[in-house]
Structure 1
Amino acid sequence: MQEEAEARQVFTPEMIDTMARIWTRSIITLIDVRFQNVASQYPLEQYKMPCSMLIYACGGEAQIQLNETTFGMERFGLVHGGKGSLLSISPKGEPVKAFMVFYKAELPLFFKKYLQQLLEQVNPFVQQFGYTPSNPILLLDWFQLMLKGWNRGNAMDQLQAKSFLYQLIHGVYRDFEGGEIRYLQPDPACSAKIYLDKHYREPIMFQEIADTFGISGGQLTRLFKKKEGMSLQEYLIRRRIEAACHDLKHTEATIKEIATGSGFADEKNLFRMFKKYYKMTPSDYRKINALSMQVDGIDNDSHIHYNERELASLVKSYRDGESAMFGQARSKEMILAAAMSLMLLLSACTSGTPANNGGTVNPTPAQTQQTTQPEVSEAVSQTRTISTVFGDVEVPNNPQRIVVDYLVGDVVALGVTPLGVSRAARTTETEAVFAKQITDSIKIAMEPEDVMTLEPDLIILAWGDEKYEDLSKIAPTIYVPYGDMTTEERIHFIGDVLNKQEEAKAVLNAYAKKIEEAKLSLQNAGLSDMTITMGEFSDKNNSVAGDKHAVGELVYNQLQMKAPPKVQTDIIEANKYWGDISMEVLAAYVGDYLISLGDNEVPADNAVWKSLPAVEHNRIVTVGSSLSWSTDIMTSSALIDHIVNQLITLAK
C-alpha cells in the first residue's frame, strides 16, 4: 500500500513544506517569459531547457514529454523541469498554447549550508512533474499577465512578472497540499525502465533518475522492484550482460571493446561478472558460441567441409576474441555438448542478474564449490542495498577487499582490516592509534588508477567526494558525509555497510561508557565547572575552535565541558568552525584551561601570552595532529583518554 500511495502522489506534506522553505530562502532570477502556438503538424521536439522552466499548456489534447517521461494532457497542463531537460509538445488535434517561464535559482551565502541540507532531501528546481491545476483559468490569467509585463521591458513591469512567478509556485504547492488534483505523472518505474533501456551503456546514477520525479532513490527502487520483480541494479546489469553476450557472439571486437561498449567500467568488471555468474571467462563464452553457431547455422554462404566423420577446420577463438583456424578433428559428441552448453548459457543470459554499477563481489567458498548454474535469487542474496547521499548502492554481504580513505579507525574498530588505506589519512604515522592494526594494509593515493590496482570489492569514501563518480566505476563506493553525522549515526551507518551491525552496537556501547566514565572523572577532579579554550596559537595568528571542530565537538558536546562566554557567543553560537583572534584580545577568549591543537610551537616568549592565567599556571594540554586531525571513533576514544588524563594531572 505504501508503494501504491507513492505512485499516486509523490509530494508529501513534509516535502511540500521543505520545498516552500527552499523557495523562500533562495535567490530567484526570472530570465525570460515566452509564448508559442504549437500545431500538430509542427510539434516542438527535443528542446533542451537552458534553465529551470514552468510550462503551461492549454487548448487541445496533447502529449508533453520531458526526457523519457511522457505526460498526457487533455485541455490544461502545468509541467516543470530542470536545466538540461529535453522538452517536446505534440498536439493530437487542434493547436496548443504554450507559456514558458525560464528562471534560475541560486543559494545565498548566509543560508547556503542550511539550504544544501534541505536540497539533499528534495530539490524543487530540478523536479519533474505535471498536473492539471485546480483553477486552470486563474493560472491562465497569471501567465498572460506575466507575459505582457515581461514583454513591456521596463523594470516595474518585469518586477511584477517576477511576483507572478512566486504566486504561481505558491498556487502549485497549494494544489499539491490540497491533494484534489490529477497528476499527469506516469509510472516512475516505467520511465526508469525506458531510461535504462536507452542509456544502459553509459554511466548511470540512479539518484539522478529519482530526482526527476522528486522522490528518493529508495522510493524509486521500491516502485521499480514491485513492478519489474528486480532492483534497478539487477535490471541494469542484465541489460549490460545481454549486450555483452550479443557482441561476443556476433562481433570480432576485443573483450576490452565489448566491456566498454556494454557499459561496464572496464574489461576487469566484465570478466568478474562472467566468472561469477557463468563460471567462465568472456573468451570461453565466445568459444562455445562459435562452436554452436557452426552446428546450428542452416543458410550460410560458405559451408564447412565434412570428411564423412566430422566437421573440419572449425574456427577457434582465443585470448581477447582473436580467431585462428585449426584442423583438429572434433567429434560430433563434442559439438553436441557445446550446443547443450549454449542452451544453458542462453537461459542464464535471459534471466536477471544483480548489478554492481562499477564493482563486483568476490564469490564465497560456497559459491566456488557449486557446479550448477546459480539461480537469480541465489545471486541476489549475495548483495545488499545501502541508501546513501548519492543514491542506493548494491554492496557485497561479506566484502573482503575494502579500501578506506579517511575513517580508517571506524572500520578497524568494527573488526575489519582494510586491504588499502589512503596515505593522506595519517595512517603511516607511528603514533596513529590504529597503526598496529593496519601494518598489512597497502598505503595508496586515493586516485582511481591507484585504487584500481587493488581490485577492491568495496570502497568507503569520506574525503574528496569529487572522486566518487570515478571510484564508483571501479567497485561499489559508499560516501560517508561524516561532517553531517553524529558519531552514533556514522558508526551505525558504516556497520550497515560492512554488515557489522552487532559490532557497531558493541563499539558504541563501549564508547558511551567511556564518555560517562570520563565525565565522572572530571567531576571528581573538580573540573566540571572549569572553562576550556582550544585552538592553534602562535605569535602571528590565533585560531580558536568552536564545537564544529572535531576536538571541540568532543570536549563541548560529548564531555559537556564549558566554553568561555566569548567563545560561546562569538564562535559556537555563530556556528563557526574557527574564530581568528588577535593576540591583543585573546585574553577575553581564554578559559581556565587551554588545549593547544596541532604541532605548532606555542608563543612562549610573547608578553601577552605569558600573562594569560592558564599559561601562567601551566594549565595547557597539548594535542598533536595525529589526534586532532581525525574524527574516527578510535582516535576520538584515544583523544578522550589523553585530554582527561592531562586535565586531571594539571588539576592536581
Structure 2
Amino acid sequence: MQEEEVSQIFTPEMIDTMARIWTRSIITLIDVRFQNVAPQHPLEQYKMPSSMFIYTYGGEAQIQLNETSFGMERFGLVHGGKGSLLSISPKGDSVKTFMVLYKAELPFLFKKHLQQLLEHVNPFVQQFGYTPSNPILLFDWFQQMMNGWNRGKAMDQLQAKSFLYQLIHGVYRDFAGGEIRYLQPDPACSAKIYLDKHYRESIMFQEIADMFGISGGQLTRLFKKKEGMSLQEYLIQRRIEAACHDLKHTEATIKEIAIGSGFADEKNLFRMFKKYYKMTPSDYRKINALSMQVDGIDNDSHHLYNERELVSLVRSYRDGESTMFGQVRRKEMILAAAMSLMLLLSACTSGAPANNGGTVNPIPEQTQQTTQPEVSQTRTISTIKGDVQVPNNPQRVVVDYLIGDVVALGVTPLGVARVSRGETEAVFANQITDSIKIAMEPEDVMTLEPDLIILAWGDENYENLSKIAPTIYVPYGDMTTEERIQFIGGVLNKQEEAEAVLNAYAKKIEEAKLALQNEGLSDVTITMGEFSDKSNYIAGAKHAVGELVYNQLQMQAPSKVKTDIIDTDKYWGDISMEVLGAYIGDYLLSIGDTVVPVDNEVWKSLPAVQNNRIVTVGTSLSWSTDIMTSSALIDHIVNKLVELAK
C-alpha cells in the first residue's frame, strides 16, 4: 500500500471517530487462542466466528483475509470482521499466532449516534494489516491476555479485557504516528482480486469497501487512481470477457451466457456489446465462428477492449456480409423467386387480353387520360435504427414483447413471441388466442409473411428480421409509457387510439392515487422484491413494478432503498437477511413466484410481516411493462393495499 493512500484511509479524523466508537460500544472478549502454524499444515480458509485481532511472529508468512493477501516478514498484526476467511501460510519456519476473538454491541443510550458514526467507518469489521512499531510490547500484551483468559477467574479475565483495550489504543497510536509499515495490498488491489473472482455474481461495491471499513466513494477513488477506470467499468470488462469466451466456445443461448457472465439480463449484455464492440453478441459469435475456421487466423490475438481493433472487426464483418449470411441470402433468393412466380401467375389469370403472337393490345386512350397517380401506401418512421418505410395500414403484424401495447391500440397481432412464463395468464391472453406463438428467429418469422415487425427485445436479430419485413425497434427501456404508446401508435397509424389509451391510463393513475390517499396510504413506505431464506432482492425504480409504484403512483420508498438502490440507479439490490430490516417499509410487495421465508426469525420480526401487510405480485403481472399489464398491476396493487389498510 502506498504511503499517501494509507494516510488517506487512516486520517486523524477517522482515527478519532474509531476511538469514539470503541469507547462507547459494549465490548465482549470471547476467546484468546494460540496456535503454531507449520508450513506443511497451513491454516486455510478458517471462517472467523467473530471480529478478531491476529498477531503472528517468528518467520515469513502470507496472511490472507477473504480476497486480501498480506505479506509478513517477522511480525504482523491483522484485523478482520466476523465471517472473514482467514488463511496463514508460512514460507519457511513455523509462525506463532495469537488470536483474540471479541464481539461489539451498541448501547441503547448512544445507539443512534453510534449508528451514524458507523456509516462512515466501522472499526469492528475493518480489515487491515501492518507491522507494529513495538512488536515486543504487543507480544507481551497478547501473552498476558492469553494467560489471564486461560486461568478462567473473573479478575484474570477482566485483566485480559484491559489488555485488549491497551492493544486497541496501541494500534490507533501507531496509526496516528504514521511511521509504521502497512502490509500489502491496498484496498484497490484487493477489490480487483475480489472482482476477478466474483464478477459472475451480484456485487455491491459498498460491501467490498466495508471489508476495509471505508466508504464506497473512497474505494472508488483509490481504485480509479490505481487502475485508470472505475469499479463498474472494470466489472463490466470482466463480464464481457467471460461472455466473449462463452460465445466463442459454447453453444449456450445469449440469455444463458448473459446470466452466466454476471449480467442482470440479456438486454444488458446487448447494450454493453453495442457500447464496447459496436455489434451484438450474435454478430460476435458469427464472426468468430467463421474466422476460427480459417487456418492461420488467431482469434485470441484481438485485444478485447481496444476500440481500434474492434473497428476493424466490425468492418470485416460488414464487408463479408454476403458470405457470413449465405443461408439468409439463399432464403431471400427463394422469396424473390416465389414472388416472381406469383406475379407471373397473376398476369396469366388476370382479365387482360392474352399476348398472341407477340402483339400487345394497347391500353385504351381514355383509360390513359383518366388514370390518377397512385396514393402512397407507406409512411416513413424515424427510429434509433434509422428511417423505416412501414405500410399505412399493416395487416400482418408480428410483435415480440410489448404485445399489450399493440392490443390496447386495437390491433390483433398475427404472430407473437412465445414467452417462457406468464403467457397463459397474461391480461391480454383472450385477445391473442388466434395469434400464432413463435420464437422471434428469422426462420420462424419468415413463415408468417408479415408486413410489419415490432421488436423490443433481442435486437441482435434486427438486421435479419428487417430483410423479411419492415422492422421497428422499440427501445422501451429508454422511453416513458407515454412516449412508447405515442411511438407505437404512430407506427401502426393509430394516433387517435394512442391518445385515448393514454388518457384512460392517466385517469387510472389519478384515481389510484386518490384511492390510496383516501385510505391514508399516500405517505406509507413500500418495499418490493423477491424474498427467500437464502437471498433477498430489493427492486429499485428501474424495475417494471418499481417504476410503476415509485414513479407513476409516487409512493414512498424506505430511506435505505432510496439511497442504496434507487439513487444509485440499480435494478435490484442484493440484501442479506441480517440487514434486511433497514430496507423494509410499512408494506411489502412480493414479486414473482417466490417462497416467503416464514421460518426465518429475522423475517418474522419485521413489522410488515407481523401485521400481515404483504401484497403478492405474480409473474403474469411483473414480467412485462406493456400498458395493459401495467393497468392491471395498478388495480391489483391498489385494491390489495386498500384491503389490507381496512
The TM-score with structure 1 as length reference comes to 0.50
Q: How many residues align?
A: 373
Q: Within 5 A, what are the aligned runs for 1:358-397?
A: none
CA offset at residue 400 of structure 1?
A: 6.5
d(CA) in 2 for partners of 1:140 and 1:94?
Answer: 19
Which residue in the other structure is 2:284 paired with? Answer: 285
Aligned residue identity for 1:453 = A
Which residue in the other structure is 1:93 paired with? Answer: 92
Which residue in the other structure is 1:463 paired with? Answer: 558
Which residue in the other structure is 1:127 paired with? Answer: 126
Which residue in the other structure is 2:366 paired with? Answer: none
Which residue in the other structure is 2:522 paired with? Answer: none
d(CA) in 2 for partners of 1:80 and 1:426?
Answer: 57
Cα deviation 1:200-233 (Å, max 9, x = unaligned): 1111111222222232222222222122111111
Which residue in the other structure is 1:66 paired with? Answer: 65
Which residue in the other structure is 1:453 paired with? Answer: 544
Q: Within 5 A, what are the aligned runs for 1:549-564?
A: none
CA offset at residue 46 of structure 1?
A: 1.4
CA offset at residue 9 of structure 1?
A: 5.5
d(CA) in 1 for partners of 2:120 and 2:8?
Answer: 17
CA offset at residue 14 of structure 1?
A: 0.6
Whether contact under 8 Å (1:59, 1:75) holds in the other structure is yes
CA offset at residue 243 of structure 1?
A: 0.9
Which residue in the other structure is 1:23 paired with? Answer: 22
Q: Within 5 A, what are the aligned runs for 1:4-153?
A: 5-7=4-6, 10-153=9-152
CA offset at residue 98 of structure 1?
A: 0.3
Whether contact under 8 Å (2:550, 2:557) holds in the other structure is no
d(CA) in 2 for partners of 1:216 and 1:467?
Answer: 18
d(CA) in 2 for partners of 1:222 and 1:204?
Answer: 18
Whether contact under 8 Å (1:287, 1:316) holds in the other structure is no
The 1:59/1:202 distance shift into structure 2, 3 A limit, reads: same
d(CA) in 1 for partners of 2:574 and 2:47?
Answer: 32
d(CA) in 1 for partners of 2:181 and 2:291?
Answer: 55
Aligned residue identity for 2:41 = Y
Cα deviation 1:360-396 (Å, max 9, x = unaligned): xxxxx99978xxxxxxxxxxxxxxxxxxxxxxxxxxx
CA offset at residue 456 of structure 1?
A: 6.6
d(CA) in 2 for partners of 1:173 and 1:51?
Answer: 20
d(CA) in 1 for partners of 2:3 and 2:37?
Answer: 35
Aligned residue identity for 2:76 = G
Cα deviation 1:560-601 (Å, max 9, x = unaligned): xxxxxxxxxxxxxxxxxxxxxxxxxxxxxxxxxxxxxxxxxx
d(CA) in 1 for partners of 2:547 and 2:280?
Answer: 19
Which residue in the other structure is 2:513 paired with? Answer: 428
CA offset at residue 476 of structure 1?
A: 8.3
Aligned residue for 2:209, secondary structure, equals: helix
Whether contact under 8 Å (1:150, 1:161) holds in the other structure is yes
The 1:113/1:218 distance shift into structure 2, 3 A limit, reads: same
d(CA) in 2 for partners of 1:80 and 1:228?
Answer: 26
CA offset at residue 157 of structure 1?
A: 1.5
d(CA) in 1 for partners of 2:182 and 2:249?
Answer: 45
Which residue in the other structure is 1:537 paired with? Answer: none
d(CA) in 2 for partners of 1:180 and 1:192?
Answer: 25
Q: Within 5 A, what are the aligned runs for 1:496-515?
A: none
CA offset at residue 77 of structure 1?
A: 1.1
Whether contact under 8 Å (1:458, 1:476) holds in the other structure is no
Whether contact under 8 Å (1:256, 1:266) holds in the other structure is yes
Moved more, 192-201 or 285-294: 285-294
Aligned residue for 2:212, secondary structure, equals: coil
The 1:457/1:286 distance shift into structure 2, 3 A limit, reads: farther
Which residue in the other structure is 2:233 paired with? Answer: 234
Aligned residue for 2:514, secondary structure, equals: coil
Aligned residue for 2:92, secondary structure, equals: coil
Aligned residue identity for 2:193 = I
Aligned residue identity for 1:23 = W
Whether contact under 8 Å (2:540, 2:572) holds in the other structure is no
d(CA) in 1 for partners of 2:195 and 2:34?
Answer: 33
d(CA) in 1 for partners of 2:384 and 2:150?
Answer: 69
Aligned residue identity for 1:475 = Y
Whether contact under 8 Å (2:25, 2:104) holds in the other structure is yes
The 1:426/1:97 distance shift into structure 2, 3 A limit, reads: farther
Whether contact under 8 Å (2:77, 2:132) holds in the other structure is yes
Q: Within 5 A, what are the aligned runs for 1:202-601?
A: 202-296=201-295, 328=330, 428-429=513-514, 446-447=528-529, 448=539, 452-453=543-544, 462-463=557-558, 465=560, 475=571
Cα deviation 1:332-382 (Å, max 9, x = unaligned): xxxxxxxxxxxxxxxxxxxxxxxxxxxxxxxxx99978xxxxxxxxxxxxx
Aligned residue for 1:428, secondary structure, equals: helix
d(CA) in 2 for partners of 1:181 and 1:272?
Answer: 47
CA offset at residue 401 of structure 1?
A: 5.7
Which residue in the other structure is 1:643 paired with? Answer: none
d(CA) in 2 for partners of 1:133 and 1:298?
Answer: 55
d(CA) in 1 for partners of 2:140 and 2:229?
Answer: 46
Whether contact under 8 Å (1:291, 1:314) holds in the other structure is no
d(CA) in 2 for partners of 1:431 and 1:79?
Answer: 54
The 1:426/1:101 distance shift into structure 2, 3 A limit, reads: farther
Aligned residue identity for 1:203 = S
Aligned residue identity for 1:24 = T
Cα deviation 1:446-504 (Å, max 9, x = unaligned): 4439953379799898416369888779538899xxxx9xxxxxxxxxxxxxxxxxxxx
Identity of aligned residues (%): 74
The 1:194/1:456 distance shift into structure 2, 3 A limit, reads: farther
Cα deviation 1:628-652 (Å, max 9, x = unaligned): xxxxxxxxxxxxxxxxxxxxxxxxx
The 1:75/1:277 distance shift into structure 2, 3 A limit, reads: closer
CA offset at residue 298 of structure 1?
A: 7.9
CA offset at residue 152 of structure 1?
A: 1.4
Larger Rg: 2
The 1:256/1:41 distance shift into structure 2, 3 A limit, reads: same
Cα deviation 1:109-145 (Å, max 9, x = unaligned): 2211111100001000000111111221111111111
Whether contact under 8 Å (1:459, 1:476) holds in the other structure is no
The 1:257/1:164 distance shift into structure 2, 3 A limit, reads: same
Aligned residue for 2:208, secondary structure, equals: helix
The 1:190/1:426 distance shift into structure 2, 3 A limit, reads: farther
CA offset at residue 51 of structure 1?
A: 1.0
d(CA) in 2 for partners of 1:126 and 1:192?
Answer: 16
d(CA) in 2 for partners of 1:20 and 1:290?
Answer: 60
CA offset at residue 161 of structure 1?
A: 1.2
Whether contact under 8 Å (1:46, 1:86) holds in the other structure is yes
The TM-score with structure 2 as length reference comes to 0.50
The 1:457/1:297 distance shift into structure 2, 3 A limit, reads: farther
Aligned residue for 1:180, secondary structure, equals: coil
The 1:468/1:249 distance shift into structure 2, 3 A limit, reads: farther
Whether contact under 8 Å (2:240, 2:261) holds in the other structure is yes
Whether contact under 8 Å (1:468, 1:477) holds in the other structure is no
d(CA) in 2 for partners of 1:286 and 1:278?
Answer: 12
Aligned residue identity for 1:294 = Q
Aligned residue for 1:253, secondary structure, equals: coil
The 1:115/1:450 distance shift into structure 2, 3 A limit, reads: closer
CA offset at residue 288 of structure 1?
A: 3.1
The 1:431/1:29 distance shift into structure 2, 3 A limit, reads: closer
Aligned residue identity for 1:452 = H
Aligned residue identity for 1:465 = K
Aligned residue for 2:162, secondary structure, equals: helix
d(CA) in 2 for partners of 1:266 and 1:249?
Answer: 19
d(CA) in 1 for partners of 2:20 and 2:260?
Answer: 44
d(CA) in 1 for partners of 2:90 and 2:97?
Answer: 11
Cα deviation 1:282-309 (Å, max 9, x = unaligned): 233323333333345889xxxxxxxxxx
